[in-house]
Amino acid sequence: MSNAYQLIPKSREKKIILTFDDGPSRNLDKILDILKIEKIQAMFFWQARLLHSKRSWKRVLDEGHIIATHSFKHPNLTKLSYQEQFREIKKSIQKIEEITGKPVVYFRPPFGQYNQETLLAAKQLNLTTVMWSLASLDWKLKNSPETIVKNVVTNLEDGAIILLHELEQTSNILMELIRSIKTQGYAFGVLPNSAKK
């Protein structure tokens, strides 16, 4: 697997990417509100089974964010055969593209678990696999949300892809997190939405 964060265009600014897994959730609009206030684009890796026409998918696209796939039902793909992995990922692409009308370019395997067959299936489906370089651990920190900010800010580096989730605790600290990152001199970006060959 290539380091997807090397795809960030080089510039004089230090840049990072915010990514949100496991949506679309009921916290999506609050997250989008904060991103809009702070004028930041992000990437959303969605479980396609959670996406339906009444979700705020159009707002996500209209405000310059990227919708990517995180599979259909969020299984551990390494426990599936190649054919099962291929079908799972393909089904997720079809669902997202059917609703949004936009091609899916990026893929992140559930739990960050993958094997060579996962990567082959993604490649055959013309997807770029994107992992992360910095985990916020937000899914573990419902009762200690301030630690989410600390986990990220103390481990920042140029080109980092930050793993977040569409969780309540994450939406509650997102503004503080973004402003703390900005204070460290970082700008925000997304991967180009034109990697599909």
Q: Name the catalytic one among 21, 22, 65, 74.
A: 21
% pLDDT > 70, the chain: 92
The answer to whether residue 21 is catalytic is yes
Active site residue 22: no
Task: Tell me the average pLDDT of the chain.
Answer: 92
Nearest Cα to Cα of residue 59 among 30, 16, 19, 38: 30
Q: Comparing C-alpha atoms, which of 13, 62, 70 is closest to residue 188?
A: 13
Which tokens sit at 47? 């479980």
d(CA 98, CA 72): 13
Per-residue pLDDT tens digits for 56-69: 999 999 999 999 99
Rounded to the nearest 10 degrees, how much is the dihedral formed by the CA atoms of 84, 85, 89, 95?
20
Domains of the chain, each with CATH number or no CATH = 15-188 (3.20.20.370)
User: What single string gives the DSSP state of each residue in 73-87?
Assistant: S---GGGS-HHHHHH
Mean of pLDDT values over 46-59 = 93
The C-alpha atoms of residue 18 and residue 7 are separated, in whole angstroms, by 14
* 65, 70, 74, 165: the active-site residue: 165
Task: Name the pTM for this structure.
Answer: 0.92
pLDDT of residue 13: 79
